[in-house]
Amino acid sequence: MRYNEKELQALSRQPAEMAAELGMRGPKKGSVLKRRLVKLVVNFLFYFRTDEAEPVGALLLERCRVVREEPGTFSIIETGFRHIGQAALELLTSGFIEDPERKYHFECSSEEQCQEWMEALRRASYEFMRRSLIFYRNEIRKVTGKDPLEQFGISEEARFQLSGLQA
């Protein structure tokens, strides 16, 4: 799939929500833990070699799970298994077995740091932001009787309607 790589690289240079040096292990079999500068910008997680200015890679943080592993470590697991059979899909989504290809493993220097990152990554998706907006909009409407989105001229946008909330 083509994508605007230069712009993504430029994004990686923007101020981050969170940035830290963590241990990181990729999904491939036999991957070893490496020190990486990990940087959260909008809904992307960039990772750099600690002495380089350009990122090694980026992870899109939509539709993924952030899961606690051993103390001080967590994983980002990509979901979305479209091309496998139903039985396999059920095994995977129930967590009974894991698809080894889709798991990125991170080691933090403390439990606190681990918590912080997990919280931040769970909120770092467009879909989460969208749900938050709908939530606040509804709450404000309940208290004031007014729609706070009207002042921005976006109250009619389909993406902010209650019906946009999927289960």
Partner 1 sequence: MAPGSPPGPAIATMKLNERSLAFYATCDAPVDNAGFLYKKGGRHAAYHRRWFVLRGNMLFYFEDAASREPVGVIILEGCTVELVEAAEEFAFAVRFAGTRARTYVLAAESQDAMEGWVKALSRASFDYLRLVVRELEQQLAAVRGGGGMALPQPQPQSLPLPPSLPSALAPVPSLPSAPAPVPALPLPRRPSALPPKENGCAVWSTEATFRPGPEPPPPPPRRRASAPHGPLDMAPFARLHECYGQEIRALRGQWLSSRVQP
Show contacts with partner 1 in window 71-130 (CB under 8 A): 78-80, 82, 102, 119, 122-123, 126-127, 129-130
State which of residues 29, 30, 32, 52 lies at the interface with partner 1 (CB under 8 A).
52
Site for partner 1 contains 54 (CB under 8 A): yes
Site for partner 1 contains 131 (CB under 8 A): yes
Site for partner 1 contains 29 (CB under 8 A): no
* Minimum distance, C-beta of residue 69 to partner 1, in the bound complex (Å): 19
Nearer to partner 1, 37 or 108 (CB): 37
CA 156/CA 167 separation, integer angstroms: 22
Name the residue among 81, 89, 40, 87 with its Cα closest to residue 61. Answer: 40
* Minimum distance, C-beta of residue 72 to partner 1, in the bound complex (Å): 19
Nearer to partner 1, 73 or 77 (CB): 77
State which of residues 22, 24, 48, 66 lies at the interface with partner 1 (CB under 8 A).
48
Both ends of the chain: CA-CA distance in Å? Answer: 29
Name the residue among 76, 83, 62 with its Cα closest to residue 26. Answer: 76
Q: Indicate the DSSP class of residue 6.
A: H
Q: What is the amino acid identity at position 11?
A: L
State which of residues 62, 65, 91, 107 lies at the interface with partner 1 (CB under 8 A).
62
Q: How many residues bind to partner 1 according to rule CB under 8 A? A: 81
Q: Indicate the DSSP class of residue 15.
A: P
Instruction: Give how far Cα 96 sits from Cα of 67, 78, 88, 100, Å.
Output: 14, 15, 10, 12
